[in-house]
A and B are shown apart, each in its own frame.
Chain A
């Protein structure tokens, strides 16, 4: 994407393309992820679409969105140790200006008239995690694994903090202390978007460029955590410290190695645990880049936990360079495929902004293509936490 500095601390990234019939935009407020601000940042994401100066209720905003054929959502994201408030909107090109105008009104002139509703929505989100047992297990694993790091902080915030949040203060803090990124992908030219940003998004200059993630960790021993719930199938989540620099070329080796390890339906984990042993329906591994962590998750019978752990351990020894070209192709494909979705283009860009890396997806693709061997890439990895939700 092409970068334009609107002013100090406010950047615009644009990609003009004819391949979509739509125009997609997002406005991102990047903040550090901290326990003491987690709940208030999350609440800001809940209050903004409840009413603004021009459209004073949630319903009036929704009616306006229908009039201009636009989908708009405000959400909170946790990316490494950054906490990001996102206003995302997708529209037809002929309504882009109206959509920007509305977004500007929502972001700059909120009227805070439904604070209770916003707080109820956030409470529902936090408590609702219990209804998704798979996600619950992974979140619990990370929470325990990173208990003494900012990454262990919940992106949705905390029930016990909700009541005491002063939402106006939270809003002003987020607006003043964030690094601002605006993105645009689709049938609209960059200069037009720049004009809209200057007209409708009057952000002040700022100097808040964050924060940096710490990725090295050598835990002393494995944390074993178990919980019991009335469920049919146990949920296993394992957290592993990779100790691989997310900015270096080794990271791309790790991506290739993960593909072979548990990242695909041909991976060691999938072939061994599911196809050979029929132990599970799902088992997979994924990498959390900013923190250099691998998470493995599987739905299994409680009694098979040790067997699966053994398969995981062996998988580290069993992956090798034999299928490396296939794995590289799969990753190159997924990088390429990301360019077919506006949301993915923006997500990739944001990741690169956080890591201070190059914007162009093709540079990531070149890095993957350069990988010759994955030998030894996981040598410095350490098992940190094993979380099991038992049935």
Chain B
């Protein structure tokens, strides 16, 4: 049902095309295996340590060139453009109904070179400072990073993607050049195109026009033999306590396995079809705000349960009791099958949207996962695999992150 055409180009770039017959809009994304976590690396034999937020800063700066503003050029073609940075990926994309080929050329031109000056760096710092402050006013954002801070003492996933006002202030022209040269390479690059598109033309064009650096830097590995997780609480103006209950994943299991199994386990604990949720709702410990997020990277990962209300300690107890119960009494295999089939259906729902598909594909590339492996993994999943992972959902691996109102 999800019919992807893929090819690795001579220049090292990996290409995926998802043909969508009859769609009017087309989307192309160029993404790099470079995210907010990649601040320590080795380049040309030198150890380099950079400030938090640099990948995101670089993303902002790629839109400028000596003579043109790329936003402007895309707009003139009638094309919408944007970019994002997360822990492991920086992605640039455009979407539009016409001028797809011209858009592709422009996208390639944009990532092919970096243009920075002291002046445009200074201007960007002002903008990013406001972006950081916007996140600071989002209690869910802060709570999310506090969960990761609680779970990880060393790993840079504990820091906000945009960095802090202080760390961004430290960013210099030279650092941006270093990270551009080190990470924006063919090997680190994926091209994804979605829409009513011929894959052949996309591949040919990318082969000819994408001109990236060669090689690869050596990324630091963070020692995730981490300390016992910590709970973190902060005060903000919120209407009632907001909380995350995060479990550190065991990275000895591969990322695609943690993605699929994590989703199933989280559904067993939080979905409306779960017995635990029904009980928590009946006891007034959960309501419509109760849910989960599964954050998966190659060498880090967290399964996060989200909720609102005073009873977060009781909820945390019930969650760990429930995983204990499953490990003691077992799990019905039909239940696992039903949840796995539903997850597959969700993947089909999501692949109807050109942007959802592209960002999912970019994310998989950064983690060295083949997209369809995830889809197919759901067919393999069984009770034993679920139980094997469930041991990680214990008190020892758990961190609470709470945001509560003043005086609460």
Contact = CB atoms under 8 A, between A and B. Distances in A.
Interface of A: 17-22, 46, 57-59, 61-63, 65-67, 69, 71, 90, 92, 117, 120-121, 124-125, 127-128, 130-134, 229-233, 235, 264-266, 274-275, 278-282, 299-301, 326, 329-330, 332-334, 336-337, 339-342
B134 A19 contact: no
Contact of A333 (B80, B130, B406): B80
A131 B25 contact: no
Contacts, number: 160
A117 B237 contact: no
A128 B71 contact: no
A280 B97 contact: no
Contact of B130 (A65, A128, A130, A280): A280
Interface in B169-198: none
Nearest to B346: A71
Interface stretch (B37-45, B284-292, B322-330, B375-383): B284-292
A17 B346 contact: no
B281 interface: yes
A250 to B, nearest CB: 23
- What 8 A-B pairs come out closest when comparing CB atoms? A278-B126, A329-B78, A19-B22, A62-B272, A281-B131, A62-B273, A233-B133, A69-B345
A134 B139 CA distance: 12
16 contacts: A71-B346, A130-B237, A133-B137, A265-B81, A278-B124, A279-B126, A280-B127, A281-B128, A301-B130, A326-B78, A333-B78, A333-B80, A336-B25, A336-B97, A337-B97, A341-B352
A22 B345 CA distance: 10
Contacts of B236: 230
A336 B24 CA distance: 6
Interface in B106-144: 123-128, 130-131, 133-134, 136-140
A19 B20 contact: yes
A58 B289 contact: no
Of the candidates A117, A264, A329, A332, the one having the most CB atoms from chain B within 10 angstroms of its own CB is A329
B308 A124 contact: yes
B242 interface: yes
Nearest to B125: A278
Which one of B25, B242, B308, B341 has the greatest number of beta carbons of chain A within 10 Å?
B25
A352 B25 CA distance: 22
B396 interface: no
Given A69-B345, A330-B78, A341 B353 contact: yes
B149 interface: no
B333 to A, nearest CB: 15
A19 B78 CA distance: 24
Nearest to B277: A59
Given A120-B284, A337-B24, A342 B352 contact: yes
Interface of B: 1, 20-25, 71-72, 75-76, 78-82, 95-98, 123-128, 130-131, 133-134, 136-140, 236-240, 242, 271-275, 277-278, 281, 284, 287-289, 308, 338-339, 341-342, 345-346, 348-349, 351-354, 406
A90 to B, nearest CB: 6
A333 B139 contact: no
Contacts of B140: 131
A128 B278 contact: no
A78 to B, nearest CB: 18
Contacts of B277: 59
A58 B281 contact: yes
A58 B279 CA distance: 12
Contacts of A274: 127
A125 B123 CA distance: 39
Nearest to A128: B239
B130 A57 contact: no
Contacts of A22: 348-349, 352
B139 to A, nearest CB: 6
Contacts of A67: 338
Contacts of B308: 124, 128
A18 B196 CA distance: 13
A337 to B, nearest CB: 4
